[in-house]
Amino acid sequence: MKLFKQSLLINVWLILVLGLAYPVVMTGLAQLLFPRRANGSLIEKDGKVVGSELIGQAFADAKYFHGRPSAAGNGYDALASGGSNLGPTSKALMDRVDGDVARERKAAGTADAVPVDLVTASGSGLDPDLSPAAALWQVPSVAKARGLDESKVRALVESSVTGRTFGVLGEPRVNVLRLNLALDAASAGR
C-alpha cells in the first residue's frame, strides 16, 4: 500500500508540474518574449487579419501569385493538413502534375520547364512560400493580368525574397501572401 501511495503522489505531482505548470509558464514566456509568433504570425491589412505568414492560402485570380498546390483537404485546410500519400509511381499523381504543368505553361505562354514547387504539394499541404524561381515564373502572367510593367513586378518579387535562416538553414523563399499584399499596394499606387 505504501508503494501505491508513493506512485500515486508522484503521478499527481508530474501531472501538476508537466501537465499544468510547465505549459502555463512556457505559454506566458512565449507571449511575453515573442507575442507575434506566439499568436500565429498573423498578417493584418487595414486593421483586419488577412492570414498568417505560416499557412498558405489559395489565390485563384490571375492578378495574384499562387502558391504550391495543396493536398490538405479541399486545399489549404489546416484541419486536414498532410500530404496526399501518393507515391512517384501513382498514376493519379502523375496525371495531376501533368495537368498542372500544362496549365502553368499555358498561363505563362511558354513550353519552358516549370519550377517543381508550382506543381508539387508540400508535406503539410499548407506551405506559404515559393522558391524565387517559382515566383519569377509567374511574373509575366501576373503583370499582364494587372496591366503592370514586368520589370516592376519582377523587382517586387526580388525585393520579397527572404534568405536562408541564419544564413545556412533552408532555401531562399518568397511568402506568397506578403508578395500579393505588396502587389496590391504597388497596383493601388499607380
Q: Print pLDDT tens along the chain (190 aa).
A: 899 999 999 999 999 999 999 999 999 999 999 999 898 888 988 889 998 898 888 888 889 999 988 887 777 877 778 777 788 888 988 898 898 899 888 887 777 888 999 888 888 888 899 999 999 999 999 999 998 999 999 999 999 999 999 999 999 999 999 999 999 988 876 5
Contacts of 86 (CB under 8 A, 6+ apart): 92, 93
- What pTM value is reported for the model? 0.80
- Tell me, what DSSP letter sits at residue 7? H
User: What's residue 190's pLDDT?
Assistant: 59
CA gap 102, 107 in Å, rounded: 9
Alpha-carbon span 174 to 130, nearest angstrom: 5
Residue 189 has what pLDDT? 60
**What ranges do the domains of the chain cover?**
1-39, 43-188
Three-class secondary structure of residue 87 per DSSP: coil
Q: What residues form DSSP beta bridges with 175?
A: 129
C-alpha cell at 36: 507575434
